[in-house]
Structures are given as C-alpha cells and as structure tokens.
Amino acid sequence: MSDAHPSRPVFDSQSERSEIIFPGDTNPLGNLFGGRLMQFIDLVGAMTASRHSRAIPITVSMDHLDFVAPVKVGDILILKASVNRAFNTSMEVGVKAMVEDVHAGTLRHVSSAYLTFVAVDHTGKRVPVPHIVPETEHQHRRFEDAGRRREMRSGEVARKKELRATLTPEWHI
C-alpha cells in the first residue's frame, strides 16, 4: 500500500463527547430537541473523521438516524463515534448516543446514526483517506455493513438525480 493511502486501525480515530442537557436544549416537555441531538452527533462524527483522515471533514449525509428514547433535562449524554469504513476520499462514521445514569452506573441507548464525511484540504479539494483496519468481530461486521449501505446510498443518489431532471424549475431545490 502506498504512503498516499496508508491504513489505520479503528481505535486510532474513535471519539467520545459528553454533554449535560440544559433547559435551553429542550422542548416544553423537557426532552432534548432532535436537531440539537443531530448537532452533537455531527460534531463527534466530524471529530472522528478528522482524526482518521487528518484533513477537514465535510458532512455529506446523515442517515439511519434513530431516536430510540428521550433525553431529559439534567441527563448526561455520551456520544461515541468510530469510522466504520473508509473509501477513497470518504468515510462512514457510526455514532451511538447514550444517557449515563450516574447513580446506577449504567448507560441507556438513546440514538444511533451513520454519517458520511468527505475529506478535503484547505482549498476544498478532496483528499485521499487512509483505509480502515477492522480488528474485532464487531468492527469487521460494521465494515461489511458500511459497504452495503454505500451501495444502497449510490442507488438512491442516482434515483434522486433522475427525479430532479423531471421536475419543473420551480421545484428544483
């Protein structure tokens, strides 16, 4: 493998972020806004993508975002992210969000998402990213699953491109 496309193990770029949820982060029921959770997910995903690529990560997509359980005012939110797979200039990053019960010492899963980032330099030009080296059975499964999701996303991109070509100009977004 050339120096332009080295390999890195998953653990080299894993990131974790913790947040305490304040009233300003929540709706009138005291639940964390979904958009705020998405922001936290994007930030920890970008940290992981940046660590892996050693470049500027640009968010291309966030998909398979599941809101499993509410996050309440006062909760400690912990987000963990890993690169599932790296392609030429892009990476899929998986993020899992959990709430820590500090009294019981337990974690409760509240959300998961897959994000795609593209690595760019300071001029905005795409740059190659290192390949990922899965080491555990779990990492190998995530690696294979990321390849399948990429194939599905490629088909969806082509379908949307065809749809846009048929829309009248006032409907183009």
Across the chain, mean pLDDT equals 91
């294979």: which residue's tokens? Answer: 144
Span 31-65, pLDDT tens digits: 999 999 999 999 999 999 999 999 999 999 998 78
Using CA atoms in the order 131, 136, 141, 143, what is the torsion angle rounded to 10 degrees? -10
Residue 8 forms beta bridges with which residues?
132
Residue 170 has pLDDT above 70, yes or no: no
| Residue-level pLDDT at 152 | 84
Rounded distance between C-alpha atoms, residue 40 and residue 52, angstroms: 19
pLDDT tens per residue across span 83-94: 999 999 999 999
Say yes or no to pLDDT of 3 above 80: no
Average pLDDT over residues 102-107: 90
User: Poorest-confidence range of 120-129, 140-149, 151-160?
Assistant: 151-160
Task: Report, at the CATH architecture level, how domain 7-171 is classified.
Answer: Roll (3.10)
What are the residue ranges spanned by the domains of the chain? 7-171
pLDDT mean over 114-138 = 96
pLDDT for 26 beyond 70: yes
Could you tell me where the beta strands, DSSP code E, fall in 26-145?
A: 56-67, 76-86, 90-101, 106-120, 131-133
Q: Is the pLDDT of residue 172 over 70?
A: no
Band (pLDDT 50/70/90 cuts) for residue 173 is low
